[in-house]
Amino acid sequence: MITTEKKQATIKDLAKAKNDTGSSAVQVGILTERIKELTEHMKVHKHDFAARRGLLQLVGQRRRLLRYIANKNSQEYLALIKKLGIRR
C-alpha cells in the first residue's frame, strides 16, 4: 500500500486541474507507485505468489490505461511515460 502522502503528491504532480483525482494520467501515476512498491516487496519475498498475481494485474491495468491515453493523444502519452520513467 502506498502512503496517503505519496498518493497525494502523485495526484498533485499529474493533475490537470485543481480537483482532478481520477483522470487517466493520475490513475497511471498511482498504479506506477503501487507497482514500484510491490516490485520491491517481490525482490525480498520471491515466493509470495498472491502478491505476484496482484502485481501482474496492476501492470495489466496500467498497460490498458496507457493504451487508452496513447490512442487518445499520443503527445500526452509520450510526456506521461517520460515523466514517470516507464518504458514504451
* 58 contacts 31 by C-beta, under 8 angstroms: yes
Q: What is the CATH number of the domain that holds 37?
A: 1.10.287.10
Whether the predicted pLDDT of 4 surpasses 80: yes
The per-residue pLDDT of the chain, averaged, comes to 95
The predicted pLDDT at position 87 comes to 86
- Tell how far CA 14 is from the center of its chain: 11
> What is the SS3 assignment for 36-58?
HHHHHHHHHCCCCHHHHHHHHHH
Q: Quick: pLDDT tens for 13-38.
A: 999 999 998 999 999 999 999 999 99
The predicted pLDDT at position 1 comes to 84
Angle among Cα 49, 44, 46 to the nearest 5 degrees reads 30
- Interhelix angle for 49-72 vs 74-84, to 10°? 140
- The length of the chain is 88
Whether the predicted pLDDT of 88 surpasses 80: no
* Residue range(s) defining the domain that contains residue 60: 4-84
Q: Quick: pLDDT tens for 42-71.
A: 999 999 999 999 999 999 999 999 999 999
Domain count, the chain: 1
**Phi-psi region for residue 85, left (φ > 0), alpha (ψ -120 to 50) or beta?**
left
